[in-house]
Amino acid sequence: AGRLKLNLSTREVFVDGKSVVLTPREYELLRLFAEHPRHVFAYEQILSKFWNGVGDRHTIRVHIGRLREKIESDPNHPQYLVNVWGIGYRFEGG
C-alpha cells in the first residue's frame, strides 16, 4: 500500500523501504486492517478480537496512535489507519 509494505511470511513491516519495529499487538492490528482494506472495524469488534472484550475505546485509541506514529508520515493526518467517527477504524491503503 504505497509507502507501506507488509511481509506476512516474515512478519516484517517496511515504510519507505526501512524496517519498522512493531510490537506483536501492533503488528496483528495492522495485519487485520491491511487484510481488509476499507472495511470498517467497530471499536467493539477490535476489543473482542484483541482484548477479549476487556477495555474501552481509549485502549484502542492508544494502540492505534502508537501504530500511526510508526507507519504514518503525519500521524495527525493519517492516510492508512483512519478513524470512522463514532464507529471505529478502517485501512485506507494510502
Q: Which domains does the chain have, with CATH numbers?
A: 4-91 (1.10.10.10)
- Quote the pLDDT of residue 82: 95
Task: Give residues with Cβ within 8 angstroms of 3, minimum separation 6.
Answer: 15, 16, 73, 94
- What residues of the chain score a pLDDT lower than 50? none
- Quote the pLDDT of residue 54: 81
Kind and range of the H or E element at 88? strand 88-91
Helix, strand, coil percent values for the chain (each to nearest 5): 40, 20, 40
> Cα–Cα distance between 91 and 83 in angstroms, integer?
9
Asked whether the beta carbons of 25 and 50 are under 8 A apart, the reply is yes
